[in-house]
Amino acid sequence: MPLPEMKDTDAEEISRKKNERAQILGCLKDAARYYYKNLYLDTKQSELARTYLNKRQISRESIIRFGIGCSLDFESLIPYLKGKGYTTEIMRKAGLIGESSGRMFDAYGKRLIFPLINKDGDVIGFSARLLENRDDRAKYKNTTATPVFNKSEVVFGINLLKKLRDQNRDTGAEYVGLENIIIVEGQIDVITMHQFGFTNTVAGLGTALTPMHARRLKQFSENIILLLDGDEAGRKATLRSIDVLRSQALNVRVASLPEGKDPDEFLHTYGAEDLRKILDNATEGIKYKIDVLAQQYDLTEPNARAKFVHESLVVLKALNSESEREAYLPIVHSYSTIPVDKLRIDLNEIDDKIKPYYEREDDFNTPIEPPETVKKDGYTLADLFILASILYSKPYIAEVDTTGLYFMDSGLKQAYDYILLARDHGNTPNISGLYSYMEVDKSTPLLREVTRYEFLPDPFPALTLKSCILKNKERAVRIEKDRIQAECAVEQNREVRDSKMKEVIALTKQLEAIKVDIEKVNLDYSAKRAAVHKRKSKED
């Protein structure tokens, strides 16, 4: 085939751009080295950066691994790079400097610096965090678009994925890609995950995942685990990310963290083993979407169940093939009890133009109604944990005395009556036995919460149970004290009133003793957790 004719001017332009790209990459690499060296200088800004890293428990090994550094001020970078032979024009094109009133300055001045590195090991930009509390400056700042940097394509930690893949190749085993890749939300999460041994972890740059991110990751594995924050924003990001990743033929699973936790907090609180269990039990992406829907409806109510089915079928309608949709109908059936053949008919009638629930805002035609809820104070939360621990036959139950308890909610009281009855007959109380004993679905919302209780990872559940038992007893004593006090206030007979006052005093002392016991249990829990963290830190 004849090659297309190339003019001399075209060749010159290609050569110029290639040379410019090399200069920009060189300038960014030297800037990264400069920032890194700053971290260990004896300056106020360096100390501020080191203090922050220590506070976030980022190790020296991680600082080296990720090339973390800091900017000392707004001026020093420019003469340093000029001394390396770079022009201000190259610095500007690299996104390193800004300009205001004719004055050039370090675009990341007085910030903690995280280099952004592509899979080939080139520094292509920076993500920088403000270390001072300032309302007039953004907390995080990323490199703006440059000839070598596009935020929607950058994967933080992808260079380390490539390193991990190459290490696997060096073992001599047949190369089939990494087993999976874990995606988290932020740089600190990635760094902490690596510190705890999850070196297949990456993140975007605070933006939603894009098809380009997905294609970058597909070079290293076809299996993705989304481990985003356990808050509402994290759930929404997860739901949207599932579609983006699946569009590139990636297998997606979702690992759910407890409400309000991110990977960094979770690992420092519970450790790597508990997180590994969560990752091992990750839910397949489409099933996760249906599970999230199910949690938002009271499926014992016919109207709510109908809405759940409709929204679930909208999710399935968006899938690519009939066989794929068919595979998920049994999951909808498991929640709704509606026969699969009926669901199939309804699915065919769903308008494929309707967006899934997590993509709709103002045009959400069938809004999700929150399930029936009851305001839960500390006493109620303690009651739920006690009964769930007993009914799910948790091993730590044997370590704690669960007799003589008091429950205000009628459903919880019935459940406790069943527990005592089962024990009296030499049986172990459990969920199925409770359903045989009473009509749980017609009972109180709190009892229904017990039957679908989700236990958070807890290194010392026996101590948690002891604390809950004490809370339960504290409430019983408090209620009795309030009752007698009320009687005392209207009692006309002095002798009877004095007698009741003595009872109130005795109950007050009992309350104080219980509070002391609760504090002892909490201190014991804190001491044990601190000991575990200390041991793990030494092992790291």
pLDDT tens digit string along 212-264?
Answer: 999 999 999 999 999 987 677 778 889 999 999 998 889 999 998 887 789 99
pLDDT in tens, 471-509: 999 999 999 998 888 888 778 888 888 898 899 899 999
Q: What is the pLDDT of residue 486?
A: 84
Choose among 448, 478, 472, 456: nearest CA to 400: 472
**Mean of the pLDDT values across residues 133-157?**
87
Q: What are the tens digits of pLDDT across the range 499-509? A: 988 998 999 99
Model pLDDT, residue 362: 40
> Locate tokens 């929150």: which residue?
370
Contact between 454 and 465 (Cβ < 8 Å) = no
Q: Using alpha carbons, list the distances in angstroms from residue 437 to 410, 413, 425, 441, 530.
A: 15, 13, 14, 12, 43
Task: Judge residue 205's burial from the number of C-beta atoms within 10 Å of its C-beta, 0-12 exposed, 13-18 middle, 19 or more buried.
Answer: buried
What's the average model confidence in pLDDT over 271-287? 95
Split at pLDDT 50, 70, 90, the class of 101 is: confident
Query: Which pLDDT belongs to residue 229?
Result: 77
At residue 367, the pLDDT reads 44
Model pLDDT for residues 521-531, shown as the tens digit of each residue: 989 988 888 88
What is the tens place of the pLDDT at every residue in 20-67?
999 999 999 999 999 999 999 999 999 999 999 999 999 999 999 999
pLDDT at residue 175 in the model: 53
Q: Looking at residue 135, what is its pLDDT? A: 67
pTM of this prediction?
0.65
Inter-residue contact 39 to 48 (CB < 8 Å): no
Asked whether residue 360 carries a pLDDT value surpassing 80, the answer given is no
pLDDT band at 10 (very low <50, low <70, confident <90, very high): low
- Read off the pLDDT band of 313 (50, 70, 90): very high
Burial class (CB in 10 A: 0-12, 13-18, 19+), 254: buried
Q: Are 429 and 423 in contact (CB under 8 A)?
A: yes
Tell me how far apart the alpha carbons of residues 90 and 76 are, in angstroms, rounded to a whole number.
17
3-state SS record for 274-320: HHHHHHHCCEEHHHHHHHHHHHCCCCCCHHHHHHHHHHHHHHHHCCC
Q: Which of 97, 83, 96, 74 is nearest to 29 (CA)?
A: 96
pLDDT at 368: 42
Can you tell me the distance from the alpha carbon of 114 to that of 125, in angstroms, rounded to the nearest whole number? 9
pLDDT at 425: 87
pLDDT one-digit tens code per residue, 147-184: 999 988 999 999 999 999 888 877 665 555 789 999 99
**CA 300/CA 53 separation, integer angstroms:** 49
> What is the average pLDDT value for the chain, to the nearest integer?
88
Distances (CA, A) of 91 to 21, 86, 128, 508: 12, 7, 17, 72
Whether the pLDDT of residue 364 is over 60: the answer is: no
**Beta-strand relationship, 123-130 and 140-142:** antiparallel
- Quick check: 287 pLDDT over 80? yes
Q: Quick check: 185 pLDDT over 60? A: yes
User: Do residues 293 and 315 touch, judged by C-beta distance below 8 A?
Assistant: yes
Of 384, 401, 492, 508, nearest in space to 448 by CA: 384
What is the pLDDT at residue 366?
A: 44
294 exposed, middle or buried (CB, 10 Å; 0-12, 13-18, 19+)? buried
Contact 223, 250 (CB under 8 A): yes
